[in-house]
Amino acid sequence: MKRLLIACAAGTAAIVSVAAQGDLRPTCRNCPAKYIPTSELQAYVARAVANRIVDQQVRALDVGKANVGVGVVHRGRLTQPAPNSVAEHDQVSEVYHIIDGAATLVTGPDLVDARRRPADNQAVRMLNGPGGNAASIRDGVTHELKAGDVIVIPAGTGHWFTKIDDHITYLMVRIDPDKVVPLKDEAASKADLAGK
């Protein structure tokens, strides 16, 4: 009898364990992988340098439960931060992979004199979704970024370039779980680069 109770308990535990794992199917069924060649990324960098464009969305893709944006950012020399240049995004997290250059980035959640960006702001509509700007970050953490480094900035965390030695160029990956930014596929990227 004792063995039967132990076997029943073990069986029940196994069933509960499998049920607790939930639905193990992929969240993006039959979704193809998306490839972005270096030539496309370099075309965005060249355009950024030539036209002094800071942030450009290369692609924004649906990956099931979230969208993922891939952008290229190029910032020139900065000896003193611009007024109200702290950025914060309510729903979109960002990952920077530094390609070239170096900069000082300050991050933190305690924003000083924060103000909402208007809904019609280009960055709100096309890049980062709702969020704001602030004058500074209280008790921020300073990061000295250089080529090869990666930094992850969760949604709701302020980020602020306070110094850029000469320039900094980085690949930006935006994680958009609420799908607040519009999609941009390969054809739209090519049209964008062609000026259409």
Tell me the per-residue pLDDT of 130-168, one tens digit each, with 9 for 90 and over: 999 999 999 999 999 999 999 999 999 999 999 999 999
Q: What is the pTM of this model?
A: 0.85
Question: What is the per-residue pLDDT across 18-63, written as a single tens digit (0 to 9) for each?
Answer: 555 666 788 888 888 999 999 999 999 999 999 999 999 999 999 9
In a domain, 49, yes or no: no
**Alpha-carbon gap, residue 128 to 88, rounded angstroms:** 9
Nearest of 36, 2, 56, 4 to residue 170 by alpha carbon: 56
Segments forming the whole domain that contains residue 156: 54-194
Where do the H-state alpha helices sit in 60-129? 122-123
CATH code of the domain covering residue 130: 2.60.120.10
The predicted structure's pLDDT at residue 11: 52
In a domain, 38, yes or no: no
Q: Which amino acid is at 65?
A: K
Cβ proximity of 51 and 126 under 8 Å: no
Q: Which two tokens stand for residue 64?
A: 């099931």
What percentage of the chain has pLDDT greater than the value 90? Answer: 82
Cβ proximity of 178 and 91 under 8 Å: yes
